Structure 1
Amino acid sequence: MFEKMGQTLADTGRYEVHIIGFPGTSQKTYPGIALHPSRPFQRISLERIRMPFRIFRMLLTLSPDVIIATTHELLLATVAVRLFRKARVIYDVQENYFRNILYLPTFPLLLRPLLALWVRAWERLLTLFVSRVIVSEQGYVDELRFIRRKAVVIQNKVKRSAIRPRVAQSRGGKRLLFSGTLAESTGVFTAIHMANELHEHDPSVHLTIIGYCAHANALRQIQEAIQGRDYITLIGGDKLVSHDAIMEAIAEADFGLIAYPPNPSTRNTIPTKLFEYLGARLPILLINHPPWMEFCAPYSAALVFDPSHIDPAEMLHRMRNTEFYTRNPGEEVLWESEAGRLVATVDDAVPG
């Protein structure tokens, strides 16, 4: 929010941007942006329930012209502000929450359908009162038919200024990277399995796992899976990791791993780190998901693997002998190609 949406809107010189959210790891400031960190809270806690009420009161005080809500949990609070202020609301759909709740093991199996239907019902109702709905993929428009008339596709691409110069590559594929959200659903255990297989054939192979894990049980499983394996480094885990740190790790890696297991919740999405790896021209070890394979193919950016059948000797040979990035990615992977659409969307929402 800060690096892309916030800075893009502030750079126009027409908007004073206020960002309310979970306290981050960075102490960055930016002209035209005011940060309002919330109190830290656990994923399941009373403070999380109180937070929409706190944000509602803060919004009444700030009295903004446009509010961008980035989670379904804040939709009611932001829409309610319209009863007291002239604010317009934009809903930034970051995930298909219905499919996430229904198909991921975050909640008990028997509760998932009820919770998923409850969230979807609230979204259907409250989006009647928003001006626009921002989605990061056309796939979300196809999945969420009730937003079609209000949807604007703005892909979550990598900002040019965030990309770090790549350090000298080993060409041996020794430094593997798994970055972003750490969970079974994002493929972290597939990445660990890949590192184990490759390390057995080449002891110089090393895996860095960097990102935040929101679920204590998943973090414990990750820690157990890498225990005693000094060739795997975990950065973050139970602590948030700055985007700068992730981009630095990308610059230092030889290969980035994208290993989401097949799941309806991610079927029609493009992972943010795919844009980050392409923007940094980092070769990718890519799970065999056809849309992502097609996306990477024009650049010769990726080696595709089947997680059920990893041949480490053959994979290492391909990693060391393939010529990557025979065509360099351009503006199509950069945030700058989307920024104008964001500004136009907010401009249209400003009350007359």
Structure 2
Amino acid sequence: MVKPTILIASLLKPLKDSRAYYRLGLSLRETNKYRLNIIGFSKKKEDEVENIKFTPLFLNNRSGRERWKAGFRFLKVYQKEKPDLTVICTWEFIPFALFGKVLYGGKLIYDVQENYTLNIAHNQTLKGFRKYLAMGLILFIEAIGKMIFEHYVFSEQCYKVEKKHFKPYLVLENKFSGTLIERPIDPKKAPQYCHKFFDFGYHYGSIWYPRSHGLVFKFTEILS
């Protein structure tokens, strides 16, 4: 039986990003139901791991031109993989995801990691017309995304208010506060207040990455 393919696509985040790889990627891989392809920034190739392929974006710099070129590379990967589900982790990939969905099918999720328009509003290096143009462009592209996204994932609780028109959504926060436990995790040994959120997790360096039941169940539901 061929496993469904899931793309997790970032632009400026590394391939083994704490969220895309250690939270989303490893959580989904442990179900042994999916074949994953993680797209992200890298200056070198990453060795594949079980059920996870890495597709690096070799950007010469972080200019706007290079970012749009990366979008076409993402679309090329989409064409090749024809994923069953794609997690878009940056607004720049939304237009390309739209074309990919129309041409090759698949379902889309928007992982909201930042409030990009609010960031630009507080950016002191971008002023005047260019600032409002950038904010308007992002709002327009994210509005288009509402027509194509099956679901949203919020990295912060505040986005439930700041992005209240993004529905339906699931909150998967970046941070975790609790006892650091070596892996593999026995749920019986985990702190009691953690049981309703995860059954095992990942210990990398000094950071604890829990697996979320809600994330895995929601992705399975969307793919069904």
Tell me, in whole angstroms, the C-alpha distance in 2 between the residues paired with 1:29 and 1:85: 25
Tell me, in whole angstroms, the C-alpha distance in 1 between the residues paired with 2:181 and 2:25: 14
1:121 aligns with 2:140: yes
Give the structure 1 partner of residue 221 of structure 2.
Answer: 348
Corresponding residue SS for 1:133? strand
2:164 corresponds, among 145, 167, 178, to: 145
Aligned length: 184
Superposed CA RMSD in Å reads 2.7
Give the structure 2 partner of residue 22 of structure 1.
Answer: 41
Corresponding residue SS for 1:8? helix
- Amino acid paired to 1:67: T
- Amino acid paired to 2:153: I
Which aligned pairs between 1:190-201 and structure 2 lie closer than 5 A?
none
Corresponding residue SS for 1:138? coil
Tell me, in whole angstroms, the C-alpha distance in 2 between the residues paired with 1:158 and 1:30: 25
Task: Provide closer, same or farther for how the CA distance between residues 18 and 39 of structure 1 changes in structure 2, counting only shifts above 3 A.
Answer: same
Task: Provide closer, same or farther for how the CA distance between residues 162 and 54 of structure 1 changes in structure 2, counting only shifts above 3 A.
Answer: farther
Task: Provide closer, same or farther for how the CA distance between residues 162 and 150 of structure 1 changes in structure 2, counting only shifts above 3 A.
Answer: farther
- Residues 7 and 30 in structure 1, CA contact (< 8 A), matched pair in contact too: no
Q: How big is the shift at 1:107?
A: 2.3
- Amino acid paired to 1:68: V
Gaps of 5+ in 2: 1-19, 184-203
- Residues 41 and 48 in structure 1, CA contact (< 8 A), matched pair in contact too: no
Q: How big is the shift at 1:340?
A: 1.3
Q: How big is the shift at 1:86?
A: 2.7
Which aligned pairs between 1:240-279 and structure 2 lie closer than 5 A?
247=205, 276=207
Give the structure 2 partner of residue 78 of structure 1.
Answer: 97
- Amino acid paired to 2:106: A
Computing the radius of gyration from Cα coordinates, the structure with the larger value is 1
Give the structure 1 partner of residue 74 of structure 2.
Answer: 55
- Residues 67 and 90 in structure 1, CA contact (< 8 A), matched pair in contact too: yes
TM-score normalized by the length of structure 2 = 0.73
> Alpha-carbon deviations, 1:287-316, whole Å to 9, x = none?
xxxxxxxxxxxxxxxxxxxxxxxxxxxxxx
Corresponding residue SS for 2:146? helix
Gaps of 5+ in 1: 164-243, 252-275, 277-333
Task: Provide closer, same or farther for how the CA distance between residues 13 and 68 of structure 1 changes in structure 2, counting only shifts above 3 A.
Answer: same
Tell me, in whole angstroms, the C-alpha distance in 2 between the residues paired with 1:23 and 1:50: 15
1:46 aligns with 2:65: yes
Tell me, in whole angstroms, the C-alpha distance in 1 between the residues paired with 2:217 and 2:78: 23
Task: Provide closer, same or farther for how the CA distance between residues 106 and 73 of structure 1 changes in structure 2, counting only shifts above 3 A.
Answer: farther
> Alpha-carbon deviations, 1:121-153, whole Å to 9, x = none?
210221221000100122111011210x31111
Give the structure 2 partner of residue 154 of structure 1.
Answer: 172
TM-score normalized by the length of structure 1 = 0.48
1:67 aligns with 2:86: yes
- Amino acid paired to 2:220: D
Tell me, in whole angstroms, the C-alpha distance in 1 between the residues paired with 2:133 and 2:220: 37
- Residues 67 and 87 in structure 1, CA contact (< 8 A), matched pair in contact too: yes
2:107 corresponds, among 75, 78, 88, to: 88
Tell me, in whole angstroms, the C-alpha distance in 1 between the residues paired with 2:174 and 2:58: 27
Aligned identity (percent) is 23
Q: How big is the shift at 1:157?
A: 3.0
1:2 aligns with 2:49: no
- Residues 4 and 335 in structure 1, CA contact (< 8 A), matched pair in contact too: yes
- Residues 134 and 154 in structure 1, CA contact (< 8 A), matched pair in contact too: yes
